[in-house]
Structures are given as C-alpha cells and as structure tokens.
C-alpha cells in the first residue's frame, strides 16, 4: 500500500458507501408510498373506472369483474365463465386474476405495486394502472 494511506482512511470510503445505501432506501420507500394513489381502469368497451386506495384496509380484498358492458366491484370471488377479466386488489397490490383471452399474457404479468406500472389485456382492450401519488416536482427543469 502507498505510504500516503493510514489506518483509518477506510472509514471515509465506508462512509460514502453508507450514504449510497441510505439514498437507495430513501428512493425505494418513496416509490412504495401509497398516499393518494388510485387504481384506474381504462377499457375501450365500457367506461373508465377509478378506485381510491386511501380508504382500503390492508386485509380487505376487492374483486373487479369486467364484461363487455360494465365493470362490477364485488366483495367475493365471482364465477370465471361469464366475465372477460377479473381483477383482484389485495394488500395494495393489483393482480389480474382471470382473463378469457387466448394468450393469457395479462394473467402472467407480475402484479402491480408501484405508481405508474400497468397490466394490459390487448384482446379484451383493457388497461389497468396505478395513478396518482404525491407530486415530486412542480417544474420539470430550471436553468439559470
């Protein structure tokens, strides 16, 4: 080792690594924040539907059944045959429970946790996404 280094120098490098770890934790917790977040369903066949997450208990499960004309919000698991898509909201996570499309890509998609993520069922023309959350920035860019 070079003669310029001494014993406690390594604490400086460890301090920098600690700060990097802290900022990563901060970023992760900011993405997981669910204040003012809502689930938005956009469908070409029926109208759009929005469900807020604020008044949701953690152990409450909500089922959304999608047909050609309507979107039903239920408390129990509906029968699979008569509906096009069934969505389950549980523990602030959104699952696509069932779909009658031939490729089944939407049911294999990972469940939505963060704001901005989406699940799409193209044959049924259905899009569900997490929207809202706190505003990070009022302006996009500033230059002097």
Residues that bind other proteins (CB under 8 A): 2, 4-9, 11-13, 15-17, 19-20, 23-24, 26-27, 30, 136-139, 142, 144
- CB of 11 or CB of 58, closer to other proteins: 11
Could you tell me which residues are beta bridge partners of residue 87?
A: 64, 96
**In 10 A of CB 43, how many CB atoms?**
20
- CB of 19 or CB of 131, closer to other proteins: 19
Least gap, CB of 113 to other proteins (angstroms): 18
- CB of 5 or CB of 76, closer to other proteins: 5
Least gap, CB of 35 to other proteins (angstroms): 15
Least gap, CB of 129 to other proteins (angstroms): 21
- CB of 3 or CB of 108, closer to other proteins: 3
Residues 96, 35, 51, 132, CA torsion sign:
negative
**Contacts of the segment 92-98: beta carbons below 8 A, 24+ positions apart:** 92/34, 92/53, 92/56, 92/58, 94/39, 94/119, 94/128, 94/130, 96/121, 96/128, 97/63
Q: Strand, coil or helix: what is 126?
A: strand
- CB of 30 or CB of 74, closer to other proteins: 30
75 Cβ contact partners less than 8 Å away, ≥ 6 residues apart: 61, 62, 63
């Amino acid at each position: 080792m070079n003669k310029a280094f001494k014993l406690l120098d390594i604490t400086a490098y460890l301090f920098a690594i600690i700060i990097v770890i802290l900022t990563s934790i901060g970023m992760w917790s900011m993405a997981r924040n669910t204040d003012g977040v809502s689930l938005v369903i956009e469908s070409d066949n029926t109208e759009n539907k929005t469900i807020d997450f604020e008044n949701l208990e953690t152990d409450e499960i909500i089922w959304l059944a999608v047909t050609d004309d309507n979107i039903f919000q239920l408390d129990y698991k509906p029968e699979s045959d008569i509906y096009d898509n069934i969505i389950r909201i549980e523990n602030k996570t959104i699952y696509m429970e069932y779909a009658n499309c031939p490729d089944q890509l939407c049911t294999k998609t990972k469940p939505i946790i963060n704001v901005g993520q989406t699940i799409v069922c193209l044959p049924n023309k259905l899009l569900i996404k997490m929207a809202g959350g706190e505003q990070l920035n009022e302006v996009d860019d500033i230059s002097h």
